[in-house]
């Protein structure tokens, strides 16, 4: 269940891409969300004196990439179908 929580949290955070206006801003959001995950894991390491959980960082990165891919695919699909609907006779 722990890994699933990471996946949904960081894939959901990647949906902040909806606030982006261009590709550069999308990349900045992806990097910012990833760095937030690394920072949170590092804080847990400092506060609780646990070992650094690199698997969680990896899971966060994969979730962010999945969220970004879903965002890009959904945007392309919407643009494609929108173009078809507007060009009907």
Per-residue pLDDT of the chain (89 residues; tens, 9 = 90+): 777 887 788 777 776 766 677 888 888 888 988 998 899 899 999 999 999 999 999 999 998 888 888 888 887 555 444 544 454 45
For residue 26, give its domain range. 2-86
Helix (H) or strand (E) holding 83: helix 54-86
| Tokens at 77, concatenated | 């699909």
Domain count, the chain: 1
pTM score > 0.85 for this model?
no
DSSP 3-state assignment of 80?
helix
């Amino acid at each position: 269940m722990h890994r699933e929580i990471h996946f949904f949290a960081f894939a959901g955070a990647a949906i902040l891409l909806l606030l982006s206006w261009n590709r550069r801003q999308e990349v900045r959001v992806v990097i910012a969300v990833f760095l937030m995950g690394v920072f949170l894991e590092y804080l847990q390491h400092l506060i609780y004196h646990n070992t650094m959980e690199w698997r969680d960082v990896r899971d966060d990165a994969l979730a962010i990439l999945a969220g970004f891919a879903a965002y890009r695919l959904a945007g392309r699909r919407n643009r494609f179908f929108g173009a078809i609907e507007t060009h009907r006779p």
